[in-house]
Structure 1
């Protein structure tokens, strides 16, 4: 009976090939309940750390305590997402057990802190100090700011008393927006659904197309006086951990591969993307309750550059951006429900500050004016959303 299927992935998300046995699903549910029990304590800790780093302009996405919401949105991985992740790991390695997969899991409890690019590195360093002062032990710090598909710092820490692990991501407001905009494409590229549909060899170009579209958002995110510029890369981010790229740019996808990925993820045409962008940091609470498909429909997108999985463990890959085809593109129009989220504020009217001189030609164009944050105090209790 324990070998019977206890869970199957969503057909709507193209994950019906993912399954767990009844016994495996019971282990997954037990691990999730342990993380759920730790959530209140971790939420309170992260709010306090955010307050302590407010001089660096810290933001804690999903914090709605001032609205009477006691839980930080997204601070607990959903049970459905955990099931899918475990099922994917079991498919990749037939020798590994469910208990071993769960033992390596670092993101059941997870949080994101945002700092503007100019204060990012110092803000992350101060957060690390806060965690160590509370007895947390570092498991990993992963710096992918040079990665073409995902830019940020991912860290994992272990709680000294419970043994529970916590993932903490660090982004700038712009990199967080792009990450959230890219979520549907990210899920498509990693879920295995494309391999299931097109086969191992043929799926490679479709996965590459999904990665290309993700990369293009990073490269053309900011509108500065009519020019589409890359997001701003934080100064001295390499002080936090040695940078590496998990993906590399190859350009093997053709226009019809890109068109399929645009349609699957609801990526609109370039002109729609530029005119109707929205910002997830403006209203994270609303969007965190949406499905992947709903998020994809309301997010913008633009034409693509080229990427591919590197396979080089911890080794930097090429980050050269290649021009995409300018032929006619297909995709879904932005959902009118996008009006639920406020339009992105104009961050683009900036002057070059020279902050990115060491980051290469693309980063040297990054010149967004630092955003002004409201003053906060360090008192516990309700506070304004950042």
Structure 2
């Protein structure tokens, strides 16, 4: 039957409400396999562009050799991530078909280039020139350096002769690192899990809290003389594309909502004492030996540990330990008379429902995990950027 469920989202990521029919899932798999076949040629092209913009200190995160085969980590969207994206689009617009969504897809093959803030604008301009020289035409360039929760440029390109498309994100090392550390929060805010749990109106405060937590990292991402400073915005970025903000912060979120979102995000991306991203930034030798898969979870890829969320630790109460005023206003009472966290209870209920629904779900894996013994590709000396790391 065409309406038989062929894929269901992960309960762990709060996406058990997302599904694809068997017929739709077959279309998604076919599109992914076509992108997989294009990956080697695109990887080679992006290495060449990286090398040709080397004077600007360009870096291609994830570039390495795995089992003697040159690959760029995350240059192919995982099949699981693609399924989730298609399901979200179908959920948002019931008039769309899976074929419509796939025809609009621009990021099956995707890459990131990094430039230091001081050379960012010129480096991006030269990168765009290189793509045009190879016959690609720009179909999207979104400049969100003024956005509070995602800072960078996201572009998409198409080769008219073949119809081949790639997504190319342009970051500084700092904006790239923060984007990766924010990934669990980003997934929560876009997945619809809060709307599924709390309804369209009730979800608002939780989405606002996730946005605020993402913004906090950008406000404290650099350390200069012992002081935590906001991210450095590249001069002249507005020359690359008109800047705009996708999100508007809705004031200061209540601590209860912040704590509940921290708890949920940490369940997706567990804490570690020190994030791989920060250690790579400090150690250029380590940088060359680590793949992006080891740095952070990127766009629905394989999970990796990340740093704690902003405000977490001794200074911030957890979802179970609120201040007296927060507890009175935001907790419920169990049958035994003890205060319980309603968000945590809903999370457990949702997880249990999702696990039950997922039994019998078809397992899907993206590209082979790239954790095998790898010989690091030596980057040109100029790519070290005075010890700055590659930072997903």
With normalisation by structure 1, the TM-score equals: 0.75
Q: Is the 8 A contact 2:73 2:293 kept in 1?
A: no
1:215 and 1:141 map into 2 onto residues whose CA distance is: 22
Residues 25, 83 of structure 1: 8 Å contact kept: yes
* C-alpha distance in 2 between matches for 1:156 and 1:198: 35
Structure 2 unaligned regions, length at least 5: 281-286, 321-379, 384-388
Q: Which residue pairs with 1:152 in the alignment?
A: 152
Q: How far apart, CA to CA, are the structure 2 residues paired with 1:293 and 1:99?
A: 23
Indicate the structure with greater helix content: 2
1: CA distance between counterparts of 2:33 and 2:225? 50
Match of 1:374 in 2: 381
The answer to whether the aligner puts 1:191 opposite 2:191 as a matched pair is yes
Q: Which moved more, 1:289-298 or 1:3-12?
A: 289-298
Match of 1:218 in 2: 218
> What's the CA shift string for 1:117-139, capped at 9, x where partnerless?
00000000000000000000110
CA distance in 2, matches of 1:287, 1:136: 31
**In structure 2, C-alpha distance between the alignment counterparts of 1:93 and 1:286, rounded to whole Å:** 32
Instruction: Name 2:3's counterpart in structure 1.
Output: 3
Q: CA RMSD in A?
A: 2.8
Q: How does 1:346-361 map to 2 (within 5 A)?
A: none
Cα deviation, residue 284, structure 1: 3.6
Show the counterpart of 1:209: 209
Q: Distance in 1 between matches of 2:96 and 2:297?
A: 33
Q: d(CA) in 1 for partners of 2:30 and 2:38?
A: 13
Q: Is the 8 A contact 2:256 2:319 kept in 1?
A: no
Contact 2:139 2:157 in 1 (8 A): yes
Rounded to whole Å, the distance in 2 between the matches of 1:265 and 1:152 is 22
For residues 294 and 110 of structure 1, the distance between their equivalents in structure 2, rounded to whole angstroms, comes to 16
Alpha carbons of 1:289 and 1:117: their partners in 2 closer, same or farther (altered >3 Å)?
Answer: closer
Compare relative contact order (CA 8 Å, sep 6+) and give the higher one, 1 or 2: 2
Q: Secondary structure at the match of 1:60?
A: coil
> Which residue of the other structure, out of 307, 332, 345, is the alignment partner of 1:299?
307
- Following superposition, the deviation at residue 11 of structure 1 comes to 1.1
Counterparts of 1:146-185 in structure 2, within 5 Å, are 146-185=146-185
What's the TM-score, normalizing by structure 2? 0.74
Q: How many residues align?
A: 314
Gaps of 5+ in 1: 305-325, 333-372, 377-384
Give 1:276 shift.
Answer: 4.0
Q: Secondary structure at the match of 2:117?
A: coil
User: Which residue of structure 1 lines up, in the alignment, with residue 228 of structure 2?
Assistant: 228
Q: Look up the SS of the partner of 2:166 in the other structure.
A: strand
Structure 1, 59-68 or 206-215: larger mean CA deviation: 59-68
Q: What is the SS of the residue equivalent to 1:247?
A: coil
